[in-house]
Amino acid sequence: MKFVAEIKKTDYGVIIKPCYGSDAEELKKLKQNTQYRFEVKQPRNPRFHRYFMALMQLGYANQEQYNNFDHYRKVMIMKAGFYETIETSKGTIWLPISISFDKMDESEFNEVFEKVLVVIAEQLETAPQDIRDNLNLFM
């Protein structure tokens, strides 16, 4: 049984609200006095995702090594330490982790943002706060 629900903590207890009609049907199947295990994730903020992409665009616009934005984005994520490796008979393949909304929650994404910010600041030879200030002018 798998479904998506919002869990909200209030002064009166915890409220579980299904996100979709199909989730409501699954929630009805839960039995009383039975223990269930939930994975709790903080939903991602789309505005913060756009802020991250603005950071990437800023870094990309101020470099000359990569002529493809997607390649640049993937390399910056890997330079920040967020990658997985696959061993093959021909050697190791390095792949950046996915930053999609369903792959990581807000706190995980924040960690990626902070580390990528440092990598791009080093690339641009400037302070991370200067980049933040620059981004905040446009966001």
Whole-number percent of the chain with pLDDT over 70: 99
Average pLDDT on 110-124 reads 97
Three-state SS at 129: helix
pLDDT of the residue at 114: 97
Average pLDDT on 127-136 reads 93
Q: Round to whole Å and give the CA distance between 63 and 112.
A: 20
Residues 79-111: tens digit of each pLDDT: 999 999 999 999 999 999 999 887 888 889 999
pLDDT at 39 over 80: no
Q: Report CA dihedral (129, 133, 134, 135) to the nearest 10 degrees.
A: 100
Residues 43-74: tens digit of each pLDDT: 788 899 999 999 999 999 999 999 999 999 99
Question: C-alpha angle 48/51/53, rounded to 5°?
Answer: 115
State which residues form the domain around 102: 46-138
Q: Are residues 103 and 70 in the same domain?
A: yes
pLDDT of the residue at 1: 64
Q: Are residues 119 and 74 in the same domain?
A: yes
Domain count along the chain: 2
Q: Are residues 34 and 50 in the same domain?
A: no
pLDDT of the residue at 2: 72
pLDDT of the residue at 90: 95
Three-state SS at 61: helix
Please provide the average confidence, as pLDDT, over all residues in the chain.
Answer: 90
Residue 113, number of CB atoms within 10 A of its CB: 17
Average pLDDT on 112-130 reads 96
Q: Are residues 66 and 19 in the same domain?
A: no
